[in-house]
Amino acid sequence: MSIKEFVASIPVNKVGFKDIFGYEKTPRNLILTVLTFGLLAMFAAGVGLYLLHGHHAYNVTREHPWGLLLAAYIFFVVSSTGLCIIGSLGDVFGFKDYELISKRAIFGSIVTILSGFAVILFEIGHPVTMVIYNVLTPGLTSAIWWMGTLYGLYLTFMIIEFVFLLKGDAKFAKYFGLVGLIIGLAAHSNLGAVFGFLNARPISNGVYFPMYFILTAFITGVFIAYLFMGFRYKLKFPERVKKMLTNLGKIQIFLLSFLAFFMTWKMLTDLYGGMPNRADVAHHILGSWTFWAEVILVIVIPLLVLLKDMGRSHVAMFYASFSGMAGIAFMRYNLIHDTQVKPLQMLKVYEYQLPPTWIHYSPSAAEWMISLGGIGLCITLYYLGTKFFNLDADEGHAEQKA
Amino acid sequence: MARYGMALDYKNCIDCKACESACKEENGVLLGADKHRIWVGTKEVEGEFPFLSISSSGFVPSQCQHCEAAPCQEVCPTNATYYDENGVVRVDADKCILCTYCMNACPYDARYVDDRTMTVDKCNFCSDTRLARGETTTACQNTCPTKVRTFGDLDDPYSEISELLRRRDHYSLKAHLGTKPKLFYLT
Ligand code: SF4
Ligand code: SF4
């Protein structure tokens, strides 16, 4: 089969302009539409500010060079890895119950990573240079190099897997899915290593982040799975979906408990012995409201909802997943901020008359707009996907029609 | 080829900031508190009033340490940060993508963003200016009125710096991180 024939054989719905806007005009849908357009406009405005002022549009400084955009990028790629894991449960590992979400999750993983790339494009000072010299003079000891390169590869595999899923070719979808999953996990742990490799920052240094990133990706994937299913079935879940969600809920109980365990030990090791540059930063983190927002939104609220009846309150979990995702956003922000919060100082006790303090950072308007705009991109791409492709499992789709 | 380093007789420093000005002038570093390749640190006076230890206060010049195992070089995704033939840690502005990973990885807070090129910059021992013209000093060394700084080839046993390091006790900053700085503080 020639490439042309292959491409032509991918099932795509014929969609016109009318179909795209031809959705039910319920108040909820209308609000969502306005919100999405608002977010997209924000993205455009943020990019405009960036084009006008360059990096000066951002509030990053010499001491706090990583800002909200990096947190947003991490947020999106974590979501992508998480969705890839969820998607793989069915079509790579063959757990039948999860097959009905595979296609949707894999498509979601493509959408979220594209949005992540769109955000990071405006964070990196010279994206074109990056593409050229990533290839010509690769920094093989750099976690950023591996993360970027592997994510590029991962995206390719996800797209191929998705195409095979659309074509109903389970075998090839499985192969590409498996390789894509492995590359995705490698990429994602490298993203953790970007922080873990910072010998200069004892608070982040070590093996914790590479592993924690995989764990929190899985958790994020489960939250998004609830959101996808909630919107797809308008909270009236068919039996099969209910069964899957209950199972996912049980997995999530395990994952969240594990996360709590992980975080507790991380904090205890950080505090223990009062090691300079680590214990003081840990104290600072414990005293920051963003840390507690993360704990309450990601762990406490969802876990309470899940534990109430072992994951059977699907509608409640749908709402708790919003809490979870908001918490994950805090989690990413905290990660980048906490890494840089302690000045390295280097004898500049008075850095040009400023007394030494914790390093402050608050995102600029452009940073907010591009980051939130990324969410708009996500929603838009996902919505278009639901129109152009059949994201339901084929059987489930038949069931739905009947 | 040389292996350049610098010895700092920091107790002689009088905080006149001549080195900072000379560096900015020589290398065209932009003005502004956040843009500096070298700086003079101020050590706080220790003790509680009135029991202050006058001798504890002091001035400590610092800059890129030209680490032999430079974390900034290790983390750079495009090899924009590299060791030149003289062991000087340099940034190739054409390759730098401004990911700022090196700024986070440098334990010495030695890097900043140059607003003109929007790439990362730092001390390069005047490699683009003086050394390129065949001179063998740096601007900061040349200007220091109390001769705090001695720049030279560590591989040459007869160089002034080798002589100094043989004769005087010295330490390097954050040595426990294993970055092997080539800036030596004479005690
Ligand atoms: S002091 Fe910092 S910038 Fe200079 S070589 Fe070492 S790590 Fe790199
Ligand atoms: S900011 Fe430039 S020099 Fe620094 S790590 Fe990134 S590409 Fe390399």
The two tokens of residue B35 are: 């843009």
| Tens digits of residue pLDDT in A190-233 | 999 999 999 999 999 999 999 999 999 999 999 999 999 999 99
pLDDT band at A401 (very low <50, low <70, confident <90, very high): very low
Residue range B117-125: average pLDDT? 95
pLDDT of residue A394: 65
How many domains are contained in chain A?
A: 1
Instruction: Write down the pTM of the prediction.
Output: 0.93
Which ligand 2 atom sits closest to the C-alpha of B72? 5
Report the distance separating Cα B78 and Cα B80, nearest Å: 5
Give the 3-state secondary structure of residue A75. helix
Q: Nearest Cα to A162, choosing from A111, A225, A215, A213?
A: A111
pLDDT of residue A399: 41
Does domain B4-67+124-186 match CATH 1.10.3720.10? Answer: no
| Tens digits of residue pLDDT in A360-379 | 999 999 999 999 999 999 99
- Best mutation target among A58, A60, A133 (most B Cβ atoms within 10 Å) is A133
Number of neighbouring beta carbons within 10 Å of residue A398: 10
Q: What is the mean pLDDT of chain A?
A: 91
A295-A297-A302-A305 Cα dihedral, nearest 10 degrees: 110
pLDDT of residue A354: 57
Report the distance separating Cα A271 and Cα A120, nearest Å: 33
Concatenating the DSSP letter of every residue in A291-358 gives HHHHIIIIIIHHHHHHHHTTT--HHHHHHHHHHHHHHHHHHHHHHHHHHH-S---TTBSSBTTBPP-P
The two tokens of residue A37 are: 């357009």
8-state DSSP, A62: S
pLDDT of residue A397: 40
Q: Nearest Cα to A244, choosing from A182, A184, A343, A311?
A: A311
pLDDT band at B61 (very low <50, low <70, confident <90, very high): very high
A396's enclosing H/E stretch is helix A394-401
Residue range A285-304: average pLDDT? 97
Q: Is residue A395 included in any domain, yes or no?
A: no
pLDDT of residue A349: 64
- Best mutation target among B104, B108, B173, B185 (most A Cβ atoms within 10 Å) is B104
Give yes or no for residue B148 having a pLDDT over 70: yes
Count CA atoms within 13 Å of residue A91 on its CB side. 32
Report the distance separating Cα A337 and Cα A324, nearest Å: 20
Give yes or no for residue A101 having a pLDDT over 50: yes
Q: Nearest Cα to B70, choosing from B185, B157, B181, B145?
A: B181
pLDDT of residue A396: 42
| Tens digits of residue pLDDT in B4-54 | 999 999 989 998 999 999 999 999 999 887 889 999 988 777 778 888 877
Q: Is residue A354 included in any domain, yes or no?
A: yes
Give yes or no for residue A133 having a pLDDT over 70: yes
* Domain residue ranges of chain B, discontinuous segments joined by +: 4-67+124-186
Q: Is residue A17 included in any domain, yes or no?
A: no
Here the CATH number for the domain that contains residue A330 is: 1.20.1630.10
Q: Pick from B42, B109, B119: which is nearest to A125 by CB? A: B119
pLDDT of residue A4: 83
8-state DSSP, B30: P
pLDDT band at B171 (very low <50, low <70, confident <90, very high): very high
Q: Pick from B34, B97, B107: which is nearest to A126 by CB? A: B97
Report the distance separating Cα B96 and Cα A231, nearest Å: 43
Report the distance separating Cα A334 and Cα A340, nearest Å: 10
Which ligand 1 atom sits closest to the C-alpha of A200? 7
| Tens digits of residue pLDDT in B63-83 | 999 999 999 999 999 999 999
CB A68 within 8 A of CB A333: yes
pLDDT of residue A85: 96
Which ligand 1 atom sits closest to the C-alpha of B71? 7
| Tens digits of residue pLDDT in A64-88 | 999 999 999 999 999 999 999 999 9
pLDDT of residue B44: 72
The two tokens of residue A335 are: 């990660």
Q: Which domain holds residue A379?
A: 27-388
> Which chain A residues are within 8 Å of B118, Cβ to Cβ?
54-55, 125-126
Number of neighbouring beta carbons within 10 Å of residue A132: 14
| Tens digits of residue pLDDT in A149-205 | 999 999 999 999 999 999 988 899 999 999 999 999 999 999 999 999 999 999 999
Concatenating the DSSP letter of every residue in A111-158 gives HHHHHHHHHHHTTSS-HHHHHHHHHHS--TT-HHHHHHHHHHHHHHHH
B93–chain A Cβ distance below 8 A for any pair: no
Atom 6 (ligand 2): residue with closest C-alpha? B99
The two tokens of residue B97 are: 């993508």
pLDDT of residue A393: 78
> Which chain A residues are within 8 Å of B41, Cβ to Cβ?
346-349
B42's enclosing H/E stretch is strand B38-43
Report the distance separating Cα B99 and Cα A123, nearest Å: 8
Q: Is residue A396 included in any domain, yes or no?
A: no
pLDDT band at A91 (very low <50, low <70, confident <90, very high): confident
Alpha carbon A170 to its chain's center? 26
Q: Pick from B44, B94, B118: which is nearest to A55 by CB? A: B118
